[in-house]
A = this chain, B = another copy of it.
Amino acid sequence: MDIVLFTDFGSSDIYLGQVKSVLHRLAPRAAVIDLANDLPPLNARASAHLLDALKNGFPEGSVFLCVVDPGVGTDRDTVVLDADSRCYVGPDNGLLSVVAARATAVKLSSIAWRPAGLSDSFHGRDLFAPVVARIAAGTLPPDQLRPLSALARSFGADDLEEIIYVDHYGNACTGIRSEHAGADRLLMAKGHRVAGARVFGEVPQGTPLWYANSHGLVEIAVNRGSAAQAFGLRVGDPVNWVD
C-alpha cells in the first residue's frame, strides 16, 4: 500500500526525515509520496477541504498520514478513518472530517496504542507514523484501535466559500467544487468580480479568471501573473458568487 503525506511539517524542515525514517523501518516496501507538507500550519478547516479534493488522485488502499495539529500534546483524540477504500490517520480536530462527511462507506476508530517514548510535541513521528506504517504493511494489531462512533469535530459536507490554498504561482484555490459552478457566473473575491474561463491561455495576459482546476475545485488565477499578489488573497479569505 502507498503512504501519502499530507502535513504542515514543512518540506524544507527537519521533521519529515524523522517521520520517513520511522515509515521506512516499519513499512520498508511501501512507497511514500509527499502530497503536501506545507499546509497552512494552524488551519485544519481549509486543509480538510483540500484533502477531500486531492485524495482521488491516489490509488485505493492508500494510507494518508494527515497532520495539521496545533493541539498536539493536549487532550484532542487521534483517529483512523476508513472511507471508500482509502485510509486516513490524524488528529481529531476536523482535518479528516470533510472526507468523512462526504464518503459513502465510513469506519472510524481512535488509536488506543501509545508508544513507550511518546514525545509531547511530535506525535507525527512517534504515534501517527508507526500506525500509518503498520496499516500500510498490514501489521497493525487490531487491539491498537478502538471503535469510535463520531468525530469530536466536523466541518460537514458542504462546500467552503473561502480560499483554502495558495500555490507558488499565486493561484488561489477555493473550497467550492467546480461541479457546483456554472461557467457564466461571476465570482467575487476581495471586492473584485472575476469571470470564468476554461484555461489561462483563453484570457489576455494579466487578466484574472476563475476556472475548474485539475482536482475539481474553483480556483482564481491571473494569466501569467499572481492572483494572490494582485488581489491580496490569503487562506481563509471569503469568496462568493455574484447572482
Complex contact A224–B70 (CB within 8 A): yes
Complex contact A36–B14 (CB within 8 A): yes
- Copies of this chain held together in the complex: 3
Interface residues of A in 1-31 (CB under 8 A from B): 2, 4-5, 10-18, 20-21, 24-25, 28, 31
Which of A54-62, A105-113, A155-163 touches B?
Answer: A54-62
Complex contact B121–A213 (CB within 8 A): yes
Complex contact A34–B16 (CB within 8 A): yes
Complex contact B199–A74 (CB within 8 A): yes
Whether A128 sits at the interface, judged by CB under 8 Å, is no
| CB-CB under 8 A for A199 and B167, given A11-B12, A21-B58, A58-B21 | no
A200 touches which of B12, B73, B201, B224 (Cβ 8 Å): B73
Whether A214 sits at the interface, judged by CB under 8 Å, is yes
Q: SS class of chain A's interface: helix, strand, loop or mixed?
A: loop
Which of A37-45, A137-145, A182-190 touches B?
Answer: A37-45
A120 touches which of B2, B14, B119, B199 (Cβ 8 Å): B199
A21: shortest Cβ distance to chain B, in Å? 5
Complex contact A167–B120 (CB within 8 A): no
CA of A168 to CA of B4, assembled, Å: 21
Complex contact A17–B36 (CB within 8 A): yes
Chain B residues with CB under 8 Å of A17's CB are 4-5, 33-36
- Which single residue of chain B is at the shortest CB-CB distance from A169? B41
Q: Mark A174-204 against chain B: 1 for CB-CB distance below 8 A, else 0.
A: 0000000000000000000000001111100
A119: shortest Cβ distance to chain B, in Å? 4
Chain B residues with CB under 8 Å of A54's CB are 14, 18
Complex contact A126–B33 (CB within 8 A): no
Chain B residues with CB under 8 Å of A50's CB are 14
Given contacts A4-B17, A121-B214, A126-B214, 4 further A-B contacts (CB under 8 A): A21-B33, A73-B201, A120-B198, A120-B212
Residues of A within 8 A of B (CB): 2, 4-5, 10-18, 20-21, 24-25, 28, 31, 33-38, 41-42, 50, 54, 57-59, 70-74, 119-122, 125-126, 165, 167-169, 198-202, 211-215, 224
